[in-house]
């Protein structure tokens, strides 16, 4: 009996241990491939330096799609296609300008019109400014707003350790601020940039007009200039600002998701999607946001192929159109999948910058999350300690809504993201090769485990 | 009985839980203070921009000491003093130069003489180059080396996820390479920089001559130039290189550790040391190495005072002299402590860059380590998941040797460190305010826990 018991224990203990060891070795092979032969950084260089900024509807959007198709083909996708989707076509129209009117001279403000905003016309708008620190204050002072420029100066809250929480906290002023000010007769809006950078670059991003109120021009202000303007307004209630933007929303135009597929050997009908978004804001190169996510997703495919892995399920890399000012690509991808009766087994997104990975945010059932969390020790050697319930991602969100697909969003270190997010500083040089690669390593590891063990 | 059992369980479970909650709140107060009112970044700006590079023995070393004394006084140290220690006085002597001799023109190489190395004299040295990839290869080809320049081209191994392991692996070529080549008659040495950067900046650092062999000039080469030279040598065995450095070791001179003290209320004789090193290499500003560690250590003191904490034990912030090319400051601090019969209870060092903190490397008994590890959940909200046995630090190492003092070394994310380490790129602009501050938050948290609960 003792011997038999011993044998039974031995089996129970060692089968999982052996599997764990094999998984560890396979993930080590993925890491070696990406850290030694990685192509993500060079792919990002080409995307950022040869295509550059690629806002929906711009000529560069089409260049980026062609880059995506070619790069996916070169990286081993068996089939690559463009999935048409209509995208908004907002244009900045020229250089945004603003200054504080003064004697003997005006004080320039570094501004960027918000995405989707209307312009001021070529003559611009000049009006007294009301400093508003919160929506509560706006409601209290609504009678002072008519004919004025509202300046929302709500600050990024540095107490949040994870900076996305500060972004979530402050973001409503950019999103809803213009229409809430227009409701009380404001003629334009300035918004303190959603950032904690040490520089003065303004950070653009979408605003969303409420159709019940007039659409008024709106622009983000750099942090140093925001502080300067706030200091002035706190001492002199009659400060006047001039703002000119030539922003304009044109009719929708045709864009595309770029999709690369690798058929599964055992359950080809079960699709695993990995993606980032191909569009970017216009002031810079969209290197972290979200060139990084695109090249990491492509790298997952390339590396798994390079080490000779044969997926059970079908792996699709999707470079989504129009995340920034419409989410049309992600929406279209899920809707067309639904119409075709596809099975969407799992989806992963990288859209929080190409920084050192710290974890994944998981949108899944408690049972699925519990299973994923048992894999945590396999990620720790690669710097990922947090596999937690959280936000999967914007572009794959519709898959969860339509299919209840479990989602995983890569969570890189967030400290530097809002230094460069939607600003001129989001350039290739701000991306570190190793940090970018380690993100792809952890993404590929999770794809491998989900494909092998299921959820 | 049921009631009594319930009460007993309640006490057992809630007393530690309450203590844990209080600790959590106090660490939250530390974090809020540093993330909102932090002075570390501005202190670093002054050190890097107003003092700059501060190699041992240089005029800037004295400026840095004065900065340290003033900053410690302003940050709340009750007593600040300079502890004299003799330091080596190596000078670069001028611009290092090198090229590959060629027709019709020479190809320049970006080089930096290694710290402590001898110069070539004003005429320089010109000799055929032998490409050596490892010490094993050197031994095999020792007969080819006489009269030549040995070029060690051992590469940073990117398979190591933590880059300090790659540094440890490659570092012997910088440290021992010159003397090992001199043993076989080489006239000079070039060493591939200890880095995985994407740029061509050479990375200096100390070399250590073996007195049994002639001292020969030695310089680090930028990675792109190292690749260029290696490619040439692999195709043409007769490549000739010219190297000129005016490096020179002068007699030792007087330097100082800068020490700021805050007396403990309960066990004032038990000293907790927190430090970084004040000296830096000469090509840049020593921002990450180790301005960051200095300002973080000062910030721990400032923040604990600001939140009203009263330490039981005496806290000393030490800005160590001469870590880079001698370790004289750390050695002197421990030796003088021993001579005075001081009690050194705990020591912490930050000397791996001002990047997002990931953990602490602990040098301690298994029991002390186990106690520290029970605190891990208190650090996780601030991004630190690894409290593991590891390297405490160079400057506090002698305290462990002389007193068996337990040590903790801050371990920040290491991916970017060797991009800038000992290179021209180690400047203030490469430091992110939040990353720097989060390091100080975790350092202060561990100091608080050790002071409160003991080890």
DSSP symbols for B220-236: EE-HHHHHHHHHHHHH-
- Phi then psi for residue A60, to 5 deg, are -65, -25
Q: Assess: ipTM above 0.90.
A: yes
pTM of the model: 0.95
Q: Is 60 exceeded by the pLDDT of residue A11?
A: no
Instruction: Count other C-beta atoms under 10 Å from residue A115's C-beta.
Output: 26
Coil, strand, or helix at residue B188? strand
Q: Residue B161 and residue A415: Cβ atoms within 8 Å? A: no
Q: How high is the pLDDT of residue A175?
A: 97
Beta strands B97-100; B107-108: pairing state:
antiparallel
B1-5, B99-103, B212-216, B443-447: least confident range: B1-5
Spatial separation of the C-alpha atoms in residues A327 and A279, rounded to whole Å: 10
Does B434 lie at the interface with A, CB-CB under 8 angstroms? yes
B261 contacts B314 by C-beta, under 8 angstroms: yes
Check residue A5 and give its pLDDT.
42
Peptide bond into B104 cis (omega under 30): yes
Q: Tell me the nearest-neighbour CA distance from A35 into chain B, angstroms.
A: 6
CA distances (Å), origin A59, targets A72, A254, A290, A427: 21, 11, 18, 19
Contact call for A36 and B413, based on CB within 8 A? no
Q: What percent of chain A has pLDDT over 90?
A: 94
Asked if B31-88+251-453 and B95-248 have one fold, the answer is no
With a cut of 70, say whether residue A104 has pLDDT above it. yes
Pairing of strands B188-192, B240-244: unpaired
Preceding amide of A81 cis, omega within 30: no
Nearest-Cα distance to chain A for B27, in Å, is 12
Q: In what order do the strands lie in the sheet with B111-113?
A: B107-108, B97-100, B240-244, B125-132, B149-152, B188-192, B218-221, B111-113
Residue recorded with tokens 């200091």 = A231
Q: By the CB < 8 Å criterion, does B435 face chain A?
A: yes
Q: What CA–CA distance (Å, rounded) separates A298 from A436? A: 12
pLDDT value at B345 more than 70: yes
Minimal CA separation from A25 to chain B, in Å = 13
pLDDT on residue A3: 42
Least confident of A179-183, B52-56, B100-104: B100-104
Radius of gyration of chain A (CA): 24
Is some CB atom of chain A closer than 8 A to the CB atom of B2?
Answer: no
pLDDT at B268 over 70: yes
Q: What is the pLDDT of residue B2?
A: 42
Confidence label for A18 from pLDDT (cuts 50, 70 and 90): confident
Residue B9 has pLDDT above 50, yes or no: no
Q: Provide the pLDDT for residue B387.
A: 97
Helix (H, G, I), strand (E, B) or coil at B388: strand
- Percent of chain A at pLDDT above 70? 96
- The contacts of residue B318 (CB under 8 Å, 6+ apart) are B257, B258, B259, B260, B273, B274, B275, B297, B333, B395
Picking from A32, A41, A416, the nearest residue to B159 by CB comes out as A32
- Residue of A161, A419, A433 with shortest CB distance to B382: A161
Flag whether pLDDT at B3 surpasses 90. no
Q: Is residue A382 less than 8 Å (CB to CB) from chain B? A: yes
Chain A residue nearest residue B355, CA to CA: A415
Q: Measured between CB atoms, which of B32, B158, B383 is closest to A35?
A: B158
pLDDT tens track for A160-212: 999 999 999 999 999 999 999 999 999 999 999 999 999 999 999 999 999 99
What is the pLDDT confidence band of residue B4, given thresholds at 50, 70 and 90? very low
**Which whole number is the average pLDDT over B442-455?**
98
Supply the CATH classification number for the domain A95-249. 3.50.30.30
Residue range B347-360: mean pLDDT, rounded: 98
Q: Do B158 and A36 touch (CB under 8 A)?
A: yes
Decide if pLDDT at B12 tops 80. Answer: no
Where does the pLDDT of residue A294 fall: very low under 50, low under 70, confident under 90, or very high at 90 and above?
A: very high
Distance CA A148, CA A187 (A): 6
Residues forming a β-bridge with B127 = B241
Contacts of A41 in chain B (CB under 8 A): 198
Q: For the sheet with A343-349, list strands across it.
A: A79-91, A248-262, A313-320, A267-277, A343-349, A407-412, A357-363, A386-389
Which of A33, A285, A323, A349 is catalytic? The answer is A323
Nearest-CA distance B435 → chain A (Å): 6
The mean of the pLDDT values for chain A is: 96
Q: Quick one: pLDDT at residue B19? A: 85
Q: Taking 50 as the threshold, does the pLDDT of residue B281 lie above it?
A: yes
The pLDDT confidence band at residue B18, using thresholds 50, 70 and 90, is confident
The predicted structure's pLDDT at residue B1? 40
Is the distance from CB of B281 to CB of B112 less than 8 angstroms?
Answer: no
CA distance B90 to B209: 14
Residues 6+ apart with CB under 8 A from A375: A23, A387, A446, A449
Q: What is the pLDDT of residue B110?
A: 98
In the predicted model, what is the mean pLDDT of residues A57-73? 98
- pLDDT-based confidence at B7, cuts 50/70/90? very low
- The mean pLDDT value for B112-129 works out to 98
Q: Could B381 and A161 be called an inter-chain contact, meaning their C-beta atoms sit closer than 8 Å?
A: yes
pLDDT digits (tens, 9 = 90+) for A211-252: 999 999 999 999 999 999 999 999 976 899 999 999 999 999
CB contact under 8 A, B435 and A419: no
Q: What is the mean pLDDT of chain B?
A: 96
What pLDDT sits at residue A265? 98
Q: Report helix, strand or coil for A247.
A: coil
How far apart, in whole angstroms, are the C-alpha atoms of residue A125 and residue A188?
A: 8
The reply to whether residue A413 touches residue B413, judged by beta carbons under 8 angstroms, is yes
CATH T-level fold of B31-88+251-453: Aminopeptidase (3.40.630)
> B339 — phi, psi (to 5°)?
-60, -35
Fold exhibited by the domain B95-248: Glucose Oxidase; domain 1 (3.50.30)
pLDDT of residue A6: 43
Residue that the structure tokens 């995405």 belong to = A115
User: What are residue A20's phi and psi, to 5 degrees?
Assistant: -60, -40
Residue in chain A closest to B155 (alpha carbons) equals A36
Q: Quote the pLDDT of residue A236.
A: 73
Per-residue pLDDT of B187-222, as tens digits, reads 999 999 999 999 999 999 999 999 999 999 999 999
Asked if A167 is an interface residue toward chain B (Cβ–Cβ < 8 A), one would say no
Chain A residue whose CA is closest to B429: A198
B-chain CB neighbours of A163 within 8 Å are 434
For chain B, the structural domain boundaries read: 31-88+251-453, 95-248
Query: Is A386 annotated in the active site?
Result: no
Strand B125-132 relative to strand B149-152: parallel, antiparallel, unpaired?
parallel
Q: Is residue A394 within 8 Å of A349, Cβ to Cβ? A: yes
Q: Say what the pLDDT of residue A276 is.
A: 98
Higher-confidence residue: B60 or B103? B60
pLDDT of A1 reads 42
pLDDT of the residue at B15: 61
> Could you tell me if B356 lies within 8 Å of chain A, comparing CB atoms?
yes
pLDDT at residue A362 tops 50: yes
A159 to B356: CB separation less than 8 angstroms, yes or no: no
The answer to whether residue A256 scores a pLDDT higher than 60 is yes
Residue B370 has pLDDT above 70, yes or no: yes
Q: Does A410 have pLDDT greater than 80?
A: yes
Residue B181 has pLDDT above 60, yes or no: yes
Q: Which residues contact B334 (CB under 8 A, 6 or more apart)?
A: B344, B398, B399, B401, B402, B403
What pLDDT shows up at residue B14?
A: 60
Q: Give the per-residue pLDDT at A14.
A: 60
From the candidates B65, B285, B299, B323, give the one annotated as an active-site residue. B323
Task: Tell the residue number behind the tokens 């945010």, with chain if given.
Answer: A361
pLDDT of residue A15: 61
**Mean pLDDT confidence for A4-33:** 75
Question: Which residue in A39, A155, A201, A356 has the most chain B C-beta atoms within 10 A of its own C-beta, making it the best mutation to test that interface?
Answer: A356
What tens digit of pLDDT does each residue of B380-414 get?
Answer: 999 999 999 999 999 999 999 999 999 999 999 99
Alpha helices by DSSP H, A177-220: 177-182
A30-87+252-453: which CATH architecture?
A: 3-Layer(aba) Sandwich (3.40)
Q: Which residue of B has its CA nearest to A38?
A: B158
Closest residue of B to A435, CA-based?
B415
Average confidence (pLDDT) over B30-39: 98
Mean pLDDT on B290-309? 98
């Amino acid at each position: 009996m003792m011997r038999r018991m011993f044998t039974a224990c031995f089996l129970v203990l060692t089968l999982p241990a052996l599997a764990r060891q094999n998984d560890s070795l396979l993930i080590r092979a993925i890491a070696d491939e990406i850290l030694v032969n990685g192509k993500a950084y060079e792919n990002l260089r080409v995307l950022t330096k040869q295509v550059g900024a690629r806002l929906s509807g711009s000529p560069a959007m089409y260049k980026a799609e062609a880059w995506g198709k070619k790069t996916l083909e070169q990286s081993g996708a068996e089939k690559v296609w463009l999935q048409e989707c209509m995208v908004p076509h907002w244009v900045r129209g020229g250089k945004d300008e603003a200054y504080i009117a003064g004697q003997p001279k005006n004080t320039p403000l570094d501004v960027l019109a918000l995405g989707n905003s209307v312009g001021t016309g070529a003559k611009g708008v000049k009006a007294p400014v009301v400093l508003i620190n919160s929506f509560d204050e706006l409601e209290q002072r609504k009678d002072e707003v008519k004919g004025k420029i509202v300046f929302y100066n709500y600050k990024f809250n540095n107490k949040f350790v994870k900076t996305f929480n500060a972004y979530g906290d402050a973001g409503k002023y950019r999103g809803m601020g213009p229409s809430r000010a227009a409701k009380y007769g404001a003629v334009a809006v300035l918004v303190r940039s959603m950032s904690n950078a040490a520089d003065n670059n303004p950070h653009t991003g979408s605003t969303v007009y409420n159709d019940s109120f007039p659409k008024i021009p709106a622009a983000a202000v750099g942090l140093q200039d925001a502080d300067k303007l706030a200091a002035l307004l706190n001492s002199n209630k009659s400060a006047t600002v001039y703002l000119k933007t030539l922003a304009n929303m044109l009719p929708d135009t045709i864009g595309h998701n770029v999709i690369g597929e690798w058929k599964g050997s055992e359950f080809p009908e079960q699709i695993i999607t990995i993606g980032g978004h191909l569009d970017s804001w216009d002031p810079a190169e969209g290197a972290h946001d979200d060139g990084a996510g695109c090249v990491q997703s492509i790298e997952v495919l390339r590396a798994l192929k390079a080490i000779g892995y044969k997926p059970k399920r079908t792996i699709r890399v999707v470079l989504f159109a129009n995340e920034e000012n419409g989410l049309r690509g992600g929406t279209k991808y899920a809707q067309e999948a639904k119409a075709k009766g596809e099975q969407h087994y799992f989806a992963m997104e990288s859209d929080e910058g190409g920084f050192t990975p710290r974890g994944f945010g998981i949108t899944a059932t408690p049972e699925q999350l519990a299973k994923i969390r048992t894999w945590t020790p396999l990620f720790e050697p690669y710097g990922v300690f947090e596999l937690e319930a959280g936000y999967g991602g914007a572009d794959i969100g519709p898959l969860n809504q339509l299919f209840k697909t479990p989602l995983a969003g890569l969570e890189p270190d967030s400290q530097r993201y809002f230094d460069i997010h939607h600003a001129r500083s989001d350039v290739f040089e701000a991306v570190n090769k190793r940090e970018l690669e380690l993100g792809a390593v952890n993404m590929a590891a999770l794809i491998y485990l989900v494909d092998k063990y299921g959820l």
